[in-house]
Amino acid sequence: MTTIRAEIRSTLHLGWPIILGNLTQMSLGIIDSAMVGSIHSSQLAASSFVNNIITVPLILGMGLSMAISPLVATAQGAGDFDRPLRILFNGLLLCMAIIGVLAVVIHASADVVYHLGQDPIVAELGRPYLIWMGWSMVPMVQFMAMKQFADGLGLTRWAMYLSALALPINTGLNYLFIFGHWGVPRYELMGAGIATFITRVLLVVLMIWVIARGKQFAPYRQHLRQQLEVRVDRLRDLIRLGIPSSMQYGMEAGAFAVSGIMAGWLGFQQQAAHQIALNLAAFTFMVSLGISAAGSIRVAYAHGSQEWTRVRQIGITAIGMAVVYGMGCALLFISGRHILPLIFNTEPIVVGFAANLLILAGIFQISDSVQAVGVGLLRGLQDVKKPTFFVALAYWGIGIPAGYTLAFYCRLGS
């Protein structure tokens, strides 16, 4: 019992800043949705539509960065202080090459919003927002790569502090650009995109300053000339872990994105309700991701120092934490299904649709938490191929076909 408690404390000690940072980042999107949703449900539906489009390329870029933390933690566990910054530098180059191309593609093909079967008002509102959100992916992925570097070193609080700082900045910019105050034009949904882009650029600038000047990072900046160079072996390791991780998160996020687009085929009110349920589920999922990240880092460190009994103990306790947390979220969603949607919208028909969806969202909280933590633990052991196969089977072999059949052939709607 003492060992279990000690492992839980260690995981939470490392993970709580990651969890709070994740929740803060997720809160930015929720605040955007709540503020534009207060204007009209069509604005919320357009926000949902664009976020569903943008989710897959964004997650692909962020998924690549997920390879950085276990590689950094393994290097630190092996006592190698030169390798972490080299991993970050090469990881940033790889992530930027991918996300930069995706941002250009999104901008060039923004008219796709008119060809995905959405309500015309949703497409019209969504196009400028899509362009701004596409370019905001670039600083977001840069920040995530540097966050993964800091997390892998166990310095998890810096990203949390910066994410917390971003919350009032983004809210204030939303107030200016969405509603038009202090001489700024009223941009409504597009204003949320502008605010998001500015906030993410500020995050990147501050994170670069912290890594370049922070005393805690000084031991890892001793040989900059050798560390800031392109290394084929580092790129190979990042691709080996990053591509499957990117595919895992991309396929999961893509499945939810496709389901959101299909919800739009039913009407903008159903799409708005779907976005409400998805926002709430994604918010609670951030805690699972934090436990997953902490477990992954701790397992990778133990793997680097070859403490195999410790690896098993960390894994068992992390899975147990995921089960308990998932059960708590399920109870919250089901019991609060008529109240929680009011955060985003007060139109009775939207709230009614969302309440029904929250029952289903509550049911899958347990399995979603367990799979997130399990995937993170395996990534810490640099085992990423099997989880990728199972994610593909679950979401695309079963989930999407079943959702389409139930919604349109069995006429169960959203």
> pLDDT by residue (tens digit) across 256-296?
666 666 666 767 677 777 778 877 887 788 788 788 878 87
Cβ distance 68 to 88 under 8 Å? yes
Half-sphere exposure of 355 (CA within 13 A, CB side): 13
The residue with tokens 């006592």 is 79
Q: What is the pLDDT of residue 202?
A: 92
Q: What is the pLDDT of residue 96?
A: 85
Q: What is the pLDDT of residue 187?
A: 76
What pTM did the predictor assign? 0.70
Q: What is the pLDDT of residue 331?
A: 92
Q: What is the pLDDT of residue 242?
A: 64
Residues of the chain with pLDDT under 70: 1-2, 25-26, 29, 37-38, 77-81, 116-119, 223-235, 237-238, 240-254, 256-264, 266, 268, 305, 383-384, 399, 409-414
